[in-house]
Amino acid sequence: MSTVVADLHHEAPSEASRVHYLNASYGIKSWLLTTDHKRIALLYLASITLMFFVGGTAAVLMRIHLIQPQGSLFEPGTFNKLFSAHGIVMVFFFLVPSIPATLGNFLVPMMVGARDLAFPRINLLSWYLYITGAAFALYAILSGGVDTGWTFYTPYSSTYANTHVIAAALGIFISGFSSILTGLNFIVTIHKMRAPGLTWFRMPLFLWSMYATSIIFILGTPVIAITLFLLGLEHILHVGIFDPRIGGDPLLFQHLFWFYSHPAVYIMILPGMGVVSELIPAFSRKRIFGYGFVAFSSMAIAVISFLVWGHHMFVTGQSIYAGLIFSVLSFLVAIPSAIKVFNWTATLYKGSISYQAPMLYALGFIGLFTMGGLTGLFLASLATDVHLNGTYFIVAHFHYIMVGGAVMAYLGGLHFWWPKITGRMYPDGWARFAALVIFVGFNLTFFPQFMLGYLGMPRRYAVYPEEFQVLNVMSSAGASILGIGYLIPLIYLFWSMRYGPVAGPNPWPAKGLEWETPSPPPTENFEHTPIVTEEAYDYANMHIPPSESQVSGETHG
Amino acid sequence: MADAAAPHPSGHAAAHPPGFAHQFEDMGQQHEAGSLGMWVFLVTEIMFFGGLFATYTIYRALYLPSFEIGSRLLNVKFGAVNTVILIGSSLTMALAIHAAQTGKRQATVVYLILTMILGAAFLFLKFNFEWTADYHEHVVPGFGFFVRPEWGAAGPHVPMFFCFYFFMTGLHALHMIIGFSILGVLTWMAHRGRFTPEYYAPLEISGLYWHFVDIVWIFLFPLLYLIGGRYALRGGG
C-alpha cells in the first residue's frame, strides 16, 4: 500500500510542496543536531566562509601596510601577528577543510549512491570539533595574537614564546581531529557503501581524490597532533624534547611539522584536482582522457607526498645527501601532477566546450596550477632554493597553488554543484564576471611577488627597500581587485538562494549519480538505491531530454 | 536528531533489527563498516604514537647512556605487574565479546566489569604508586628534577628520558581512561540487554581499541623499563 502512495507522489512532484533536506524540518535545533551529511556540509560551508573572510581581512591589512616601503599601518610586531593569523586561519581553518568538508561531505554519499556517510554522528562531531578549534584560534588572534608564523617553529613557539601560542596550537590540535574523523568517514563510505554496480573504476574521479585526501588525513594529521601536543607540554613545563638545554633538537620539530604539513599541501590541492576532473568532462561533453592515470596519479601524489618534507629544510643544515634525496623525490611528485594537467588538456581536445562559470574556474585552475607547479621545481632544486628560500618567490609559488589552484577549484565546484545544493541557479553573467575579476586580481597580486622574490625581497618583513615599491603597489592593487572578486559571489550566491531561477535536477546537464536525484535532494538522497550500469563520464552516450538542455523553471520573488 | 528518527522511504527494509542505523542496507554492511572504521582509527592512533616512538628512537640513539640510567631508575616490578594486569584485561575483554556472541548476558556484564577492574588497577598502580614515587625521587622534568652527580657526563640528558617516560605513559594512561569510560557505557548497555548474538558490534569495535591500547603498553614496557641492561649485566657476571 505504502509503495503505491509513494509512486503516486513520484508521478506528480509538485516543486513547491516537495519535501527535501532543506525543508524537512525547521528550527535551529534541526540544524545544530542534524546528522544529515548535506546539512553538515552547509554548516561547514558557513563556518569556513566566515574563516575565509577573517583570514582575508588579515591579508588585506598586510597589503595596505606594504604599499609604503616603511610600512604604513603597523608596528613590526603587529605585522608578525597579522601574517601568522592569516596563515593559521587560511591553512588550518579554510583550505584544509574547504573542499572535503563542504563539497566532499555533500557529494561523497551522493556519488556512491548511499543515504548518508557511514557514521553520521561522527560527521556531526567533526563539525563541532572544527568549531571548537576555530574558537580557540580566534581567541588566540583576538586576545593578542600569535607571532610565530603558521609553522610554530621552536624555539619561537616554546622557550621564547611571548604570545598566545598555546591557544592557537590547541585550536589546530582539536580541528585536526575533525579532519581525521572526516577522512575516516570518507574511507569507510567509499569502501563499504558504494551502490550496486559502482566498481572502483566506475567511480567519479572526485571520489578518488577524496579517497587519496582521506589517506593523508588519517596518516598525516595524527603526526601534527602529537607534535603540537609535545610543543604544548614543552611550553607549559618549560622543558621538553625540543629543548636544547637537555639535548633536544629544535630542528626535530621542523621535521615532524613538515612530515604533516607537506602532505597537507596535497590535502589542499588534491580535492581541487578532483573537482576539476568533474568540471572539465562536463563542460567538454567528453569522457575524461586516461581515467585510470588520473585516478592513480591521485594515489601516487598521496604516497609520494609523505616522502618530500625535507625540501622545506634545504638550508637548515640537514645532511646534503638527505637534501639530494628529498630533491629527487620532490621532482618525482611533479610527475603525477603533470599527468593530470596533460589529461585535462587532452580531454578538452576536440571537446564541445562551453564557457559557463564553473568551466572558467576550471580553466583558470589549470593555468594557475601549472604556473605554481613549475615554479615549485625551482624550489625543489637545491642550488636555486638557496637563492629563493625565504623570499617572496615562495609566497607567490604557494599562493599560485593554494589560491590560484585550491580556491579556484573550490569556487568552481561550489558554482557547479550550487544548483544541486540549493535547488536554485545563480546569475551566470555575474558568475563569469566574478571568475574573470578573480583571475585578473589574483595574477596582479601574486605575479609581482615572483619578481620581488627573485630580486631578493624576504618574506615576513614589515619594511622593504624603496626600489621594491612599484611591484609592491602592483601587488596591493591586485589584492584589492581580488578582494572584490571574492565579495561578488558571496552576494549573488546569497541572492540566488531566494530569488534565483529554480534549477532542475540536472541543469548543466552532467553525468553522475548526484544529478539523478531532485535538487535539492531529499533527506535520504535517492528514492531508491541506484544501480550503476555504465562507466563514469559517459557523455558520448548521454541522452539529453530537451527540457533539461536549458535551465528550466520559473523565477520566484 | 529529528531526521535520524524520520520514517524511511519505501523500498528498503521495513522491520529493522535493534541497533540498525538507517544509512546502511543491511546489518552485515553496518558491521563491516563499523570494523573498518575502527581499524582506520587505529591507523591514526599508530601514527599518533608513532611520532613519539620515532622521536624516542632518535634520542635514544643519541643519548643511550643517559637513557640506560633513566631506565634503571624505573621500578620494573610495577611495570611487570601492570603488563600482566593489562594482558589479563585483554583476555576478559575477549571473553566478554564471546559471551555476547553466544547470548550470555550475565557473563557479558561480569567480564566487562572484570575488564574495568583490571583497567582501574593498572591506573591506580601507575598514578598512586609509580608516579608519586617518581615525584619524591625528583625525576619529574619541570617539577624539581635533580641531576645527580653520580650520573657523570651522561647526567644532563637524563631528563630527556624522563620526558619520554612521562609523555608516553601519560598518553597511554589517557587512552586507558577513555577506554575505561567506553567500557562503562558498554557495561550499562549489556546490563540493559542491548546486545544479541546478531548485534554486538559496539563490543567488538571497542574490544579492538582496548587490545590496541594494551599492545601499545607491550611496546612501552621493554622500551622504557628494560633497556638499562641491569639483568644482562648481572647474568654476565
Are residues A247 and B160, on separate chains, in Cβ contact within 8 Å?
Answer: yes
Are residues B9 and A120, on separate chains, in Cβ contact within 8 Å?
Answer: no
Q: Which pLDDT belongs to residue B144?
A: 84
A6, A246, A524 member nearest B160 (Cβ): A246
Cβ pairs bridging A and B (under 8 Å) = 141
Q: Is residue A397 part of a domain?
A: yes
CA neighbor of A487 nearest in space, from A497, A495, A475 = A495
pLDDT 10s digits, B82-125? 999 999 999 999 999 999 999 999 999 999 999 999 999 999 99
The mean pLDDT value for B136-153 works out to 87
Are residues B160 and A523, on separate chains, in Cβ contact within 8 Å?
Answer: no
CA pair distance B121, B105, nearest whole angstrom: 25
User: What band does B230 get if pLDDT is binned at 50, 70 and 90?
Assistant: low
Q: CA-nearest residue of chain B to A251?
A: B55
Q: Is residue A254 part of a domain?
A: yes
Q: Is residue A435 part of a domain?
A: yes
A2, A3, A222 member nearest B47 (Cβ): A222
Distance from CA of B236 to the nearest CA of A (A): 32
Q: Which CATH architecture has domain B27-228?
A: Up-down Bundle (1.20)
Question: Which parts of chain A have pLDDT scores under 50?
Answer: 1-13, 548-557
Q: Which pLDDT belongs to residue B228?
A: 79
Q: Is residue A161 part of a domain?
A: yes
**What would the grid cell of residue A16 be?**
513547491
The SS3 of residue A526 is coil
Which residues have a Cβ under 8 Å from the Cβ of A128 and sit 6 or more positions away?
Answer: none
Q: CA-nearest residue of chain A to B163?
A: A240
A30, A183, A252 member nearest B58 (Cβ): A252
Q: Angle at the Cα of A61 (from A59 to A65), degrees rounded to 5?
A: 115
Handedness of CA A43, A517, A283, A277 (dihedral sign): positive
Judged by CB atoms within 8 Å, which residues 82-121 of B form the interface with A?
none
Q: CA-nearest residue of chain B to A522?
A: B9
Residue whose entry in the numeric block shows the C-alpha cell 558491521: B31
Q: Which residue has the higher pLDDT, A140 or B232?
A: A140
Q: Is residue A184 part of a domain?
A: yes
CA pair distance B202, B31, nearest whole angstrom: 9
The SS3 of residue A391 is strand
Q: Which of B12, B22, B41, B44 to mutate to test the interface with A (most CBs of A within 10 A)?
A: B44
Are residues A230 and B44, on separate chains, in Cβ contact within 8 Å?
Answer: no
CA pair distance A129, A123, nearest whole angstrom: 10
Q: CA-nearest residue of chain B to A117?
A: B23
pLDDT 10s digits, B188-199? 999 999 999 989
Query: What pTM was computed for the model?
Result: 0.92
CA pair distance A275, A340, nearest whole angstrom: 12
Please tell me the total count of domains within chain A.
1
Residue whose entry in the numeric block shows the C-alpha cell 516537495: A18
**In percent, how much of chain B has pLDDT > 90?**
72
In this structure, what CATH number is given to the domain that contains residue A347? 1.20.210.10
**What would the grid cell of residue A188 be?**
569507510
The SS3 of residue A55 is helix
Are residues A192 and B51, on separate chains, in Cβ contact within 8 Å?
Answer: no
CA pair distance B60, A104, nearest whole angstrom: 42
Residues of B in contact with A255 (CB under 8 A): none
Judged by CB atoms within 8 Å, which residues 152-181 of B form the interface with A?
156-157, 159-160, 163-164, 167, 171
**What would the grid cell of residue B226 be?**
628494560
A2, A225, A230 member nearest B167 (Cβ): A230
Q: Is residue A12 part of a domain?
A: no
Residue ranges making up the domain that contains A447: 35-541
C-alpha count within 13 angstroms, C-beta hemisphere, residue A527? 15
Residues of A in contact with B15 (CB under 8 A): none
Q: Is residue A69 part of a domain?
A: yes
Domain boundaries, chain B: 27-228
CA pair distance A524, A404, nearest whole angstrom: 35
Residues of A in contact with B66 (CB under 8 A): 247
The SS3 of residue A463 is coil
pLDDT 10s digits, A508-523? 999 999 999 999 999 9
CA neighbor of A311 nearest in space, from A223, A405, A388 = A388
Q: Which of A216, A226, A249, A527 to mutate to test the interface with B (most CBs of B within 10 A)?
A: A226
The SS3 of residue A145 is coil
Distance from CA of A110 to the nearest CA of B (A): 12
Residues of A in contact with B169 (CB under 8 A): none
Are residues A24 and B52, on separate chains, in Cβ contact within 8 Å?
Answer: no
Q: CA-nearest residue of chain A to B53?
A: A226
Residues of B in contact with A250 (CB under 8 A): none
The SS3 of residue A286 is coil
Distance from CA of B209 to the nearest CA of A (A): 15
